[in-house]
Structure 1
Amino acid sequence: MLDIAEELHRWVEQGRDFAVATVVAVSGSAPRGPGAALAVDSEGAVIGSVSGGCVEGAVYELCQQALADGESAPALERFGYSDEDAFAVGLTCGGIIDILVTPVRASAPDREVYASALSAAAGGEAAAVARVVSGPGELLGRALLVRSEGSSGTSSTSGSYEGGFGAHPELDRTVAAEAGAFLDAGRTGTLEIGEQGSRCGAPLTILVESSVPPPRMLVFGAIDFASALVRIGKFLGYHVTVCDARPVFATAARFPDADEVVVDWPHRYLERTPVDARTVLCVLTHDAKFDVPLLRLALRLPVAYVGAMGSRRTHLDRNARLREVGVTELELARLHSPIGLDLGARTPEETALSIASEIVANRRGGSGVSLTGAHTPIHHDVPSTVPEPEPEPEPAGRIGSVA
């Protein structure tokens, strides 16, 4: 739901009734993961996607039916591929997905929680919404919003929360803490918990959707290759910063697509700017006076990726210089150098694609080899909680409904 927060927030502000279908869990090969959403309003307008096209039509009908029924209870639907009827509604890629369809009317008791969650996500605020996916009927669809530290709301061990499930008081506190942990990691997935906030009571499945600010891409070196990398970084959803010590090159006019352009020595800027486990650093200066102090610091930071441009000769010389200033072999092993995958790239745009491909492969656990002839999974993400597919699924594409 939060992946289409900007559009849904507008619907809330306009007072529209709508139903939102959210991917809860996936098994096998599926186009989209938990948290992917499609929403339909009372006029039939649709936004978002849950499968890249495989089951969109059927999900659209489910959303319309949820609004027409006049009931507020959500429904859990499972979609899968049928070998007996390849044209049945299902995932032709062979996967199975569970989708929660939730009507959100203007009069719904949880409307305010959803509105707050959508407002936070649309505004770039770090927040997570937890919803009951399965369990006692009276709790289905109930929601709780967790914000980061410093936001308003009821205090919890991981920040603050709004709303609640209206069950055992310990349940809200436990879910808020668990959702806070998901939020800290920027994760979306499910968790199992007892109705009383522990292993006691009826088991509940909770979907936690996290919305966090875009990850950062720091590009050091205001060269023509950097301009192409900035554009592809923005396309991938990064907040992109270009940094160079030379003011004649580091200008907004040369990098109009960058979120910010900084004139400073790279290592000095890195010392004072915030980074986290999702941050990627691309060092394109290939000049020892910039590279060595910068990489000495970068390789000791808890960031997702550090890559440095240069020939293999430059790489060997740079590694020797880094060892001289105390960089360990373990730290050097984190360095992607020469930067990028072997695509045979020559132009700045091709080189940017090579670098971006390596960043994606590093993030998702891909090998970087051609999928043609390979026997590796297409999607490498490991879902948080995924039910095993039934050994003998029903022949129909829509495997079943749990209301």
Structure 2
Amino acid sequence: MKELLVILAQLDTLLKGGESIALATVVHVDGSAYRRPGARMLIDSQGNWWGGISGGCLEGDLLKKAQLAMFQQSIKRITYDTREDDPFQLGVGLGCQGLIEIVIDPIRANIERVKDSLERQINSGLPGFMRSQWVEDVLHISQIEQSVAAWDEGQQVFTEYLPARTRIWVVGNQFDASSLIELCLNLAWEVHWVGNTSKMRKDLQVRVAACYEWDSVSGLKSSDCLVLMTHDFDRDVQFLNQYVSHQTIQYLGILGPTKRFERLQKQLSCQLVSDISSPVGLDVGAEGPEEIAIAVVAEILAVQNNRDGQRLKYRTKTIH
């Protein structure tokens, strides 16, 4: 999501000027590859780029092909095949064993349509599917409610799944809350901060989506994530009774040991309906606010992606 937001922000600037630009999109992957379908790379006429379509091994070659597409003002369809150890095939020895198909689109009107559609989907706050079809050099885009992410070579149709932007509520204004907020902002998550606003770091206040006093919280959604790190037992009880006890939340984490949580449950006015992580975070032996923030974010990602947080070397299924 962060990379996509960077590309959209850069498009705001580039589309206001008159220079040529191109947008490359990964539309199909077969086998192992660093990036998945939907990965994008924005290129300008000066050779600058944002985003990426691999781990850095294919970008240099793609840049040359994008320059040609911009010069000719025609869409290019590129295939990189790193499945065979062919010394004449670009990608040999790069570490991935897969086929990657990419569409390079230099048509400004098409890029504007992509930007508008992506922004509309992201701003909706909901996950969804976007279908792109290239008919000659014209791109047709539609948002659809249900589908399967896929690439139809014959029809030149790419259907991609766009997850909702993660929205997290961090409750507390101690230094460990600041560390979690900084990490979430670095991931381009939408952060809502609850606490004593007079004690919140001023540099972070201007970067989060919104700040709330303890008793002025509004807009909590079932798709949100929430982490309680107040270091105040009574405050946690009050907050849970007031805002959380009556609704389901995608992720609810509470700082503190198991005994504290057991004590806390006895003080609630009703049983919580959400699945609760307390102690919060994955078991990685985290020490200090920065490491704890990593453990918490890792657990949120595991919940969102329905994973168990084990080491990838023990995973028997495909990574993606």
1:291: Cα distance to partner?
Answer: 2.4
**Aligned pairs for 1:3-402 within 5 A:** 4-68=7-71, 70=72, 72=74, 74-85=75-86, 88-90=89-91, 92-104=95-107, 111-112=108-109, 114-115=111-112, 117-118=114-115, 125-126=123-124, 130-132=131-133, 139-144=135-140, 176=142, 179-181=143-145, 189-190=149-150, 205-208=157-160, 210=162, 214-244=165-195, 246=196, 249-250=199-200, 252=202, 258-265=208-215, 269=217, 272-275=218-221, 277=223, 279-295=224-240, 297-298=243-244, 301=247, 303-322=249-268, 325-327=269-271, 331=273, 334-371=275-312, 373-376=313-316, 379-380=319-320
Name the stretch that deviates more: 85-94 or 54-63. 85-94
1:32 Cα deviation from its structure 2 partner: 1.9
Comparing 114-123 and 225-234, the one that deviates more? 114-123
Q: Which has the higher contact order (CA 8 A, sep 6+)?
A: 1
Does the 8 Å contact 1:190/1:206 carry over to 2?
A: yes
Provide closer, same or farther for how the CA distance between residues 378 and 10 of structure 1 changes in structure 2, counting only shifts above 3 A. Answer: farther
Distance change in 2, residues 1:318/1:87 (3 Å): farther
Counterpart-to-counterpart distance in 2, 1:119 and 1:274: 27
Rounded to whole Å, the distance in 2 between the matches of 1:59 and 1:317 is 58
Unaligned runs of 5+ in 2: none
Shift of 1:235: 0.9
Q: Deviations over 1:324-366 (max 9, x none)?
A: x3326xx35x111110111222211221121112122222344
Identical aligned residues as a percent: 25
From the superposition, tell whether residues 326 and 220 of structure 1 become closer, same or farther in structure 2 (CA, over 3 Å): same
Between structure 1 and structure 2, the one with the greater Rg is 1
Structure 1's 231 and 247: CA in aligned 2 closer, same or farther, altered over 3 A? Answer: closer
> Partners in 2 of 1:315 and 1:87 — Cα distance?
61
Residues 310 and 43 of structure 1, relative CA distance in 2, 3 Å threshold? closer
Distance, in Å, in 2 between the alignment partners of 1:188 and 1:37 is 19
Query: Structure 1 pair 313/141, CA: closer, same or farther in 2 (3 Å)?
Result: farther
Shift of 1:92: 2.3
Aligned to 2:106, the other structure's residue is in SS state: strand
Asked if the contact 1:227–1:255 (Cα under 8 Å) also holds between the matched residues in 2, the reply is no
Q: What displacement does 1:251 show? A: 6.0
Alpha-carbon shift at residue 122 of structure 1 (Å): 6.9
In structure 2, distance between residues paired with 1:319 and 1:22: 49
Over the aligned positions, Cα root-mean-square deviation in angstroms equals: 3.6
- Find the counterpart in structure 2 of residue 167 from structure 1: none
289-298 or 3-12, larger mean C-alpha shift: 289-298
Residue pair 1:219, 1:242 contacting (<8 A) in 2 also: yes
Name structure 1 gaps, 5 residues minimum: 105-110, 134-138, 146-175, 193-201, 381-403
Q: 1:360 to 1:378 in 2, by over 3 A?
A: farther
Query: How far apart, in 1, do the equivalents of 2:30 and 2:283 lie?
Result: 32
Deviation at residue 289 of structure 1 after TM alignment = 3.1
TM-score by length of 1: 0.65
